[in-house]
Every structure is written in C-alpha cells, then in structure tokens.
Structure 1
Amino acid sequence: MDVAQLALLRELADRGSITEVALALGKSPSAVSQQLRTLQRQVGVVLVERVGRGVRLTDAGTALAESSVRISTAIAEAEATWDAYRGGATGVVRVASFQSASELFVPGMLTRITEYPGIRVEFDDQDVSQDDFADLTADYDIVIAHRSDDVLPPAPSVLRVVPLVREPLDVGVSLGHRLAGRERVTVADVIGEDWIGVPVDYPIDRVLAAMAVAAGTPARVIHRSTHLPLIENLVATGHGVALLPRHTSLGRAAGRYRLLPLTDVRAGRHIEALLRPDRAARLAVRVVLDAYVAEAALQTSAPVTGR
C-alpha cells in the first residue's frame, strides 16, 4: 500500500468530501478520485461508496484510515528522532487559537521558543463554536480550543488533547453597579441583569444558559460578540454585565470594572490544545506545545490580585 494513498483516506474521513480533500492537498478532485480507485484495486475491497451526491468511507475504508493515522504518527516520530540527531527542531508550526487565549499565552510562548531559531510559528485567529474546534486540526498543527465544564474533550483515540488551564468565569460589573461592593455574587443576584454575551453555544454562553436554568428564568442578552475588549468596555461603561474569563480580563479590570466570583454555580472554561497524533509527534510541534504548557502553568500560579 502507498502511504500517500492511505493518507487520502484519513483526509476524507476528516473532511467529508473529495472536493475538500483536493483543496487541502492542492490536487484536483479527479486526481484524488483516481488515487482512491488505485488503492481500492490494490487492496481488492471497496473503500469509498457513493451517498447521494457525495461519498463516504466503508467500514474497510474507515479501518484503513485509522491505520493511516498510526502509520503517519510512526513516520513523524522517526523524523523527530532524526531532527533531534541532526541537532535541532526546525520548520513551520501552524497554530489556530481564539483571541483571548492568544492574548493569554502567545507573547510568553514566543519568548520561550526564541532559542529555537529554526522554528517559525504561524497564527490564525479561529473563534468557533466549541464543537467545531476539533475539525480545525485537519489544517493546523496545534488548535487552542475551549469548552465549558459540561462538555467532554475529544476522544484521545482521535486527537491528542493537552489540558492547559481551567479558567474561572467571573461576573464583570461596572464600578458604579449596585453589586460592585460585593466580594462575590449568586446566580439570583445577577440573572435579571442585562447581559453582554458571546455567540450561542460558545463555552461562555453555555455557562450563562446553565445559570438561567438554575434560576428558572431566561437570561436577557442584549448584545453578543466574540471580541473580549469590546465586552469589557461595555461592562465598564455600565451597558450590562458579562461573564468574563478571570485570568484574561483581570489585568484590565483595575479602575474600570469588578470581577465577582459566583458562589453557587461552577462557572469556568477549559482551555486545551488539540493535535492530530502524527503532527503532535513532530519535534518542532513538541517544542511549541511545551512552551504553551509552561505558559499555562505560569498563568495558573500567578496570584489573583486587583479584583
């Protein structure tokens, strides 16, 4: 079996269509189809079947796609060993991350990897629904994702999941708000406020929805945005309250707004790195991932002050 042809099955399993596989690999759809037909002739088993106007892997195709992951990982591990023998990690590492995580980790991470001049990190802002982060691993070496407490991480058999930090979510209120003098609040204290939220089904929105269920009343969301500084500005100027990530927002809180922990609900988000196993084996990717883990440890050990 040809390793490159097996890799096409993995791509088809991840991307769902021959057209998407062709776009990702810089090939024509007909070339991808031809390689898949060649592989089918070699193994003597149907690997891909038509469904409507598209295709899907058969059970045999799925089994070979899973084998392709193990083969690609073994090759990447061998290359990493060779890179280490030759004296260092080199190459481009592509990272997708939502903005507030980039703000929290990227400056320190880049400082940590300056001793590896052969590594170049390319970043893309990707703030998507928490169910869609796993799909980004098809195009990026490292995906920095977040999920709410009630959602399980992807299965380790599919992706490598590296926990970075659980970040508490506090209620942000303006300095002139009626609750600004409190040290902490309950759901009942705040659920009736005007809320500045994030898009539906994002991790922070799921926490707010859980608060509404606990209180037995819907939350009144008057504005939604993925841009954290805007949300903080709206809170600071008294246009509503918001659930704000503690480690990320605390540095901008002094003199502008208060962060009040919730006492009667577990409010937080898990930030973690998602990687394909074969890409996680690359030496350059390991270096960048280790830098992220070190930065996360630094953030969680920092004293919580200025609230």
Structure 2
Amino acid sequence: MELHQLKILRELADLGSVNAVAKALYVSPSAVSQHLAQLQRGFTAPLTTKDGRRLVLTTEGKMLASAAAQVASTLAEASARIQAQDQDRQTPIKIAGFHSIGQTVFAPLLNWRERQLPPLRFSDEDVSQQDFPALTSAYDLVLAHRMPHTAPWPQHHIAVIPLAFEPLDIALHQDHPLAVFDELSPKQLIGERWVVSRSGYSPADVLETIAALAGSAPTIEHRVNDYATAGSLVEASGCLGILPRYTARKSLSDTVTLRPIKGLVSGRQIDVLIRAEHLHREPVMDVVQAIRQSIQTLVGA
C-alpha cells in the first residue's frame, strides 16, 4: 500500500468516477485503474465494484478512503510543524465560491488589512448543492450553501466551518401592489409571475415549497441563476423573484425591494468546506478567519 494509491482511492470517493480522478490528478484513466488494482492486491475484500459503467467504492473501500483522508491530515499536520510558516504563506490559497458570495466577499478579501494574507486565487463555481464537496479536490477552500432540510455535508470526507444562515426573500418592484405588505404569504404569492433559478438551486426549491403550501403550480416566465440578472428582470418585468437577503444586496436596483415569506423558514446555510489536512495550515486558517469576519460584516450591514 502506497500513499499515492490511497490518494487515488480517496479522490474516487470524492469525485465519483475514474475519469474525474484522472482529470483532477492529470493522469490517464488507465493509470488510475492500474493504481487501484495494485492497491486491491493488499486486501481480500473488494474495494471497488461496478455500478453500471461506473466504478464505485464498496463499504470496505469507503472505510479505507476515510482512513486515507485521516492519513493526509496527519501528514499535513506534521509537515506544517516542520516547514516554516512564512514559506507556506507565499503559497497561493485557491478559493471557490458560488456567484453571489463571490460578488460580495472576494474583493473585500483582497483589501483585508487586519492581517497580511497569503496570495489569493478566486474562482466562481455555479454548481448544484450536492456538487460542492467534490470541489475540495481542486480548491483549498470552498464557499458553499445548503438548504436546512437537506442532508448534511459528508463530514467523513471534509471539514465544515459554518459561516451564517442567509434568508431567501421575495424580490419585487417597489411599485408592485404586494410591496405594501411587510411579509407575504404563499397564498398571496402563487398567482404571480416568476423569475427563478433553474431546478436544483435554492430559489427554485423555495418556490416549490411555496407552491406546495398554496396548493397551486407557479407561473415561471424566466429561469435565471445569476442574481443580478434576476433582479434586473424583477425590476423590468413586474415578475417576482426569490433572492438571498445579504449577498444579493449590492446587485439590486433601489427600485427592487425584499420581503420575507410569512409562515415559511426559507434560507440557506453558508459554510466553508475544506479538506481536513488544510486545517493545520495557519495561512489557510487566517483566510478562513478573514472570510468569517467579512460575512459577519455583510450580515450586520
């Protein structure tokens, strides 16, 4: 059993396919398969099995992948103690985040003056909720959101650092007849026209709940994931939208206002997802602290 074989098994657990592992590690799929075969020779119980055309982990394979993550964390902790922290501080920290958090957090991090941060490299990732954990394979930190009623993040693969709960509100033009109300019930809302995200994203999930409570299907005119674009459509079309209370604020026109939904706890939990080995890197944790304080400032604004 070798470390690079354990790494490949772990990546298969996180990424879900041999091709995805090969792409992430810059090797061929056949090389991935060969290393997995070599690892299998050390065990009588099968570590992988075929699920259709996909190679997936067995229960024993998942156990070993979890152990591989612990090994990586232990090695990273030892390495962090050996290496000079100022050397690690020159290594760029790669950060991924969903669009609206990127619009509100990325730029302020570059201007962070409380503590000298390492170089930062940002990427926006517009993925469905279930796809955020796999991003930790390519990034040091992943800013992710999760609806409260859904399954928790897979913490046997990653560490989770909670940041804030962000309500999702109804967005409407200030001249819309419903704007006179301080909060809006599903019965008031369901007869309106909507601009909402594609299925599988938070706003669409909330609209489905509103429809279920109201007992009627919504009229959806526009499917837009970008909140700035959704806000502009709300302003121009008279449609209603569902937008996050804090992170969409900067992108909205003054004529678009937000109202909470009566009788419905609608919102999303914003977290940092990180592989356990990065928890031992002081520069990475400095960035996490800067992100946390930026979010606290945003929520309190």
Q: TM-score, normalised by structure 1?
A: 0.88
Matched, 1:218 2:217: yes
What does 1:100-119 align with in structure 2 at a 5 Å threshold? 100-112=100-112, 115-116=115-116, 119=118
2:124 aligned with 1:125, yes or no? yes
Report deviation, 1:134: 1.8
Counterpart residue number, 2:21: 21
Aligned to 1:8: 8
CA distance in 2: counterparts of 1:133 and 1:273, whole angstroms? 10
The answer to whether the aligner puts 1:93 opposite 2:67 as a matched pair is no
Amino acid at match of 2:256: Y
Q: Which residue of 1 aligns with 2:156?
A: 157
Equivalent residue, structure 1, for 2:269: 270
What one-letter code is carried by the residue in structure 2 that aligns with 1:272? Answer: D
2:233 equivalent to 1:245? no
Q: How far off is 1:219 after superposition?
A: 1.5
Quick check: 1:153–1:161 contact (8 Å CA) kept in 2? no
Quick one: structure 1 residues 253 and 24, their matched pair in 2 at CA, closer, same or farther if it must change by over 3 Å? Answer: closer
Q: How far has the Cα of 1:142 moved from its partner? A: 1.5
Q: 1:83 to 1:207 in 2, by over 3 A?
A: farther
Amino acid at match of 2:138: D
Gaps of 5+ in 1: 303-307
Q: Which amino acid in structure 2 is aligned with residue 71 of structure 1? A: V
Tell me how far apart the structure 1 counterparts of residues 168 and 85 of structure 2 sit (CA, whole Å): 45
Deviation (angstroms), 1:41? 3.4
- Find the residue that maps to 1:199 and give its secondary structure: coil
Aligned pairs, how many?
Answer: 301
Tell me the CA shift for residue 115 of structure 1. Answer: 4.5
Contact 1:83 1:283 in 2 (8 A): no
Question: Which residue in the other structure is 2:75 paired with?
Answer: 75
In structure 2, what is the equivalent of residue 289 of structure 1? 288
> The residue matched to 1:7 in structure 2 has which SS?
helix
- For the structure 1 residues 8 and 102, does the alpha-carbon distance in structure 2 shift closer, same or farther, using more than 3 Å as the test? same
Cα RMSD (Å)? 2.4
**CA distance 1:103–1:137, shift in 2 (3 Å):** same
Report SS of the residue matched to 2:268: strand
In the alignment, the residues of structure 1 paired with residue 189 and residue 53 of structure 2 have an alpha-carbon distance, to the nearest angstrom, of 50
8 A contact 2:48–2:57 mirrored in 1:
yes
Pair 264,167 (structure 1): closer, same or farther in 2 beyond 3 Å: same
Which one is further off, 209-218 or 29-38?
Answer: 29-38
Question: Which amino acid letter does the alignment assign opposite residue 299 of structure 1?
Answer: L
Code of the residue aligned with 2:175 in structure 1: it is G
CA distance 1:55–1:253, change in 2 (3 Å): closer
Cα distance change of structure 1 residues 217 and 28 upon mapping to structure 2, 3 Å threshold: same
> TM-score normalized by structure 2?
0.90
Report SS of the residue matched to 1:149. Answer: coil
Does structure 1 conserve the Cα–Cα contact (< 8 Å) formed by 2:106 and 2:122?
Answer: no
